[in-house]
A and B are shown apart, each in its own frame.
Chain A
Amino acid sequence: MRTDPQTYAARFFRLWHTIASHRMNILEFTGLVWVGSFVAGLLGALTGLGGGVVLVPLLTLFFHVDIRYAIGASLVSVIATSSGAAAAYVKEGFSNIRIGMFLEIATTLGALLGAFLATIVPTSALAIIFGVVLIYSGFISRRPRLPHERNQPPDRIATFLRMNGSLPEGDGMRHYNPQRVPTGFSLMFGAGTLSGLLGMGGGSMKVLAMDHAMKLPFKVSTTTSNFMIGVTAAASAGVYLNRGYVDPGLAMPVMLGVLAGSLLGTRVLVRMETKWLRLVFSLVIALLGIEMLYKGIRGGF
């Protein structure tokens, strides 16, 4: 029975191949890319895993788009979803703009490095790195979230940087004290580099930095991370646009699709039970990762 999903996937790939190998015109291509991006944005918002992570595999594996165009389009759409969602999150008052701004120094510098690396790294290596990151993202999203360790003592650096904050809980306010700022900062530099290199938000790396290293409450880390993603992506998007990696004909349906999907996801289906959806989506992410890894090694890029 174990081979069943495999055969279904193989059949699906064959069927898709016949569709995609017929030469699409721009109208068909735009429509299909829009639908695919819409679904990616919707699933990304519902599961909290972000849609950006599946966009590049979607475009390269299913639509046979060159990985550099795919990264350029994905990066632009990441700015759209992050800014669109941030507008809603910011009003809830959970995000910590000081932590966000301080860590953005690390992510934007990392993003510049990533965008620079993207121009010298061969595309097959890009695909391999992408595959590894996807498998890791699929894996980490399955790990049960550790109960938040409360009542951490104030950290000297975090206090100096005025990062200690509070968030509404129940009737009152709960204080939190961020920990291990230097570790978080270095991890954020890595997250920024991956974002610039691969054209995604890098949510899973940010979770590692803010939840695990800095011990921020869940709501603070997700909203602050979302807040930072747009700025991080903008730092590398400028470089990509200048290098000619951003194609308007491709970025248009991707950006509009992801934006519509994620807005619907955050707005309409907030109270939906997403446990099984998270499981399915993280499996899809891991499978796409394996496919990217395989193609990268085999030399399909």
Chain B
Amino acid sequence: MSWMQSWTDQKMEDIIGNLLRAGVILSALVVVTGAIIYLVHHGFEPADYRVFHGEPSELRSIGGIVREAFTGQGRPVIQLGLLLLIATPVVRVAFSVFGFAEEHDRMYVGFTLVVLAVLLYSVIGSGLMF
């Protein structure tokens, strides 16, 4: 029984490992694509990060980033890549809910749902959705 459990744990960890790698690779590819566009268009403008302005509102929300990214500009495409990166651990946690359910471990399904709720709150509760 405990051997079976550790086997499914191992299988779950394998899937999680691949999931994380895929997320990082995908987001890095999107960021590189955006970087090329951004540097080609703005590479010779002065860089200044001394003073904090905050990002424009269209680069602060999921909807805004996706909309802007489809216009093909560099900065929104980079931001889309960063958004995919932030989403990677969230997807990992969401997957773990199913993993623990598969193992009939109700207690850990509960714990994982709590973590997922906190993560979703940080995305939706902070207004990132719109």
Contact = CB atoms under 8 A, between A and B. Distances in A.
Nearest to B12: A97
Place the interface of chain B in its size category: 35 or more
Nearest to B65: A241
A230 B82 contact: no
A250 B18 CA distance: 28
Given A230-B89, A246-B55, A25 B119 contact: no
Contacts of B83: 241
A218 interface: no
A238 B86 contact: yes
B13 A25 contact: no
Contact of B28 (A68, A90, A250, A259): A259
B127 interface: yes
A26 B42 contact: yes
What DSSP secondary structure best describes chain B's contact surface?
helix
B121 to A, nearest CB: 7
Nearest to A102: B111
B23 A90 contact: no
A115 B86 CA distance: 15
Contacts, number: 209
Contacts of B86: 76, 79, 234, 237-238, 241
Interface in A247-297: 247-253, 255-256, 259
Interface stretch (A103-111, A146-154, A202-210): A103-111
A95 interface: yes
A140 interface: no
A231 B119 contact: yes
B13 A27 contact: no
Contacts of A161: 107
B60 A90 contact: no
Given A98-B108, A105-B118, A235-B119, A69 B52 contact: yes
B85 A80 contact: yes
> Which are the 6 A-B pairs with shortest beta-carbon distances?
A244-B54, A29-B47, A248-B78, A90-B17, A244-B55, A87-B21
Interface of B: 6, 9-10, 12-14, 16-18, 20-21, 23-24, 27-28, 31-32, 34-35, 38-39, 42-52, 54-57, 59-61, 74-76, 78-79, 82-83, 85-90, 92-93, 96, 100, 105, 107-108, 111-112, 114-115, 118-119, 121-123, 126-128
Interface of A: 23-30, 59, 63-66, 68-69, 76, 79-80, 82-84, 86-91, 93, 95, 97-98, 101-102, 104-105, 108-109, 111-112, 115, 161-162, 166, 230-231, 233-239, 241-253, 255-256, 259
